[in-house]
Chains A and B, each alone.
Chain A
Amino acid sequence: MREALLLFLVVVSGTGGEICVTRAMKHVGEVTDFRPLALVRVILRAMKVTWMWIGIAMMALAFFSLLAVLSIENVSFVVPVTALNYAAGALGGKFFLGERVTPRRWAGVLLVCVGVTLVWLGKR
């Protein structure tokens, strides 16, 4: 039960964090100048967007949850299960960022879910 909760945090908080960072970077605008000084300016501008900080906090929570779950479960179980990120990413992209998710991508997400179920059952 504890591992399920931690894995849930890894997936949901990790994907949520990435979505927030995406939102922040879309707000900052496309990066076209890759000279070091220009990149520093992009980073400084990104740091002024609230979504960026929410995203970083969520990704940090996901990382510490990953560490916690790795202390009680095998890596060969934990890492494949975190592929659920793709499912959470597709849902989040569709409903939060308004991206169009192709049928082929949904098919991939479905395969990931089936695989995670098999891994979960195979652990017993």
Chain B
Amino acid sequence: MSSSSGLHFKTYCMLLIMVVFAPLGNVLLGKGMKNVGAAVSWAPSRLPHIASMVLTSGYIWLGIASLLTFFVAYMLILSWADFSYVQPASSIAMLVVALLGYFYLGERISPLHWAGIVVICLGVFVVGNTPPRTTEVR
């Protein structure tokens, strides 16, 4: 990886897009599905009706668009940065999801729940900081 400041700027932009759009996508999907779930029963005969409700929800499509944005940024950054450098960013994404859920969706989060989220972030960070390739190249 080159150490030019241009590359660093590009990398930070992509990381920012990743940690904003992945949580945003999940939160929008959550909001869209809460509207669907509150209104229907989940009997198999109702599946076509549920599918039509899901596919006509603006929140769901916005969520899918956000997740696609995240995915493109993820693919792009992996073309020049190491996986083990990029992956710990998803630990921050966990925290962003919780913050968005708390402030934007008004979800109640107990202290124990917060503690769990912090421990998970830590765990994901540790997992991500290990070598990305351990098998022999054939």
Contacts and interface: CB of A to CB of B under 8 A. Distances in A.
Given A76-B97, A118-B116, A71 B34 contact: yes
Interface residues on A, range: 35 or more
B123 A122 contact: no
Given A66-B29, A118-B113, A111 B134 contact: no
Contacts of A79: 23, 26, 94, 97-98
Contacts of B36: 71
Nearest to A103: B130
Interface in B81-138: 94, 97-98, 100-102, 105, 107, 109-131, 134-135
Interface of B: 23, 26-27, 29-30, 33-34, 36-38, 42, 54, 60, 79, 94, 97-98, 100-102, 105, 107, 109-131, 134-135
Interface of A: 34, 66-68, 70-72, 74-80, 83, 86, 90, 97-102, 104-105, 107-123
